[in-house]
Amino acid sequence: MNTPEPRGELNHLPDSHLFTVRVWPEELGPGNVEWRGRAQHVLSGEACYFREWEDLIAFIKQLTQPRQEDVP
């Protein structure tokens, strides 16, 4: 029987990842809207807020690329 790993303490990369992403429009003034968001890695619980799509992509890459200790 597999024992689930505690949140935030991943010892290796799983074969797949699950993220939740929430986006919403933030009204900055009349006719001025900015999209904002929050992403969370479900298994580890790590999360980030973002205003730019590039920040979302960087967060996902950070959590899906092998860490130095994971590379043989």
The C-alpha atoms of residue 34 and residue 36 are separated, in whole angstroms, by 6
The verdict on residue 62 lying in a domain is: yes
Establish if 38 belongs to a structural domain. yes
Neighbours of 39 (CB within 10 A): 20
pLDDT digits (tens, 9 = 90+) for 15-65: 789 999 999 999 999 999 999 999 999 999 999 999 999 999 999 999 998
| Number of structural domains the chain divides into | 1
Tell me whether residue 60 is in a domain. Answer: yes
**Residue 71 falls within a domain, yes or no?**
no
Determine, yes or no, domain membership for 57: yes
Instruction: With respect to residue 36, please indicate whether it lies within any of the assigned structural domains.
Output: yes
Minimal CA–CA distance to 69: which of 4, 2, 1, 9?
A: 9
| Reported confidence tier of residue 66, pLDDT bands at 50, 70, 90 | confident
For residue 71, pLDDT over 70 is answered with no
Q: Which domain holds residue 52?
A: 19-66
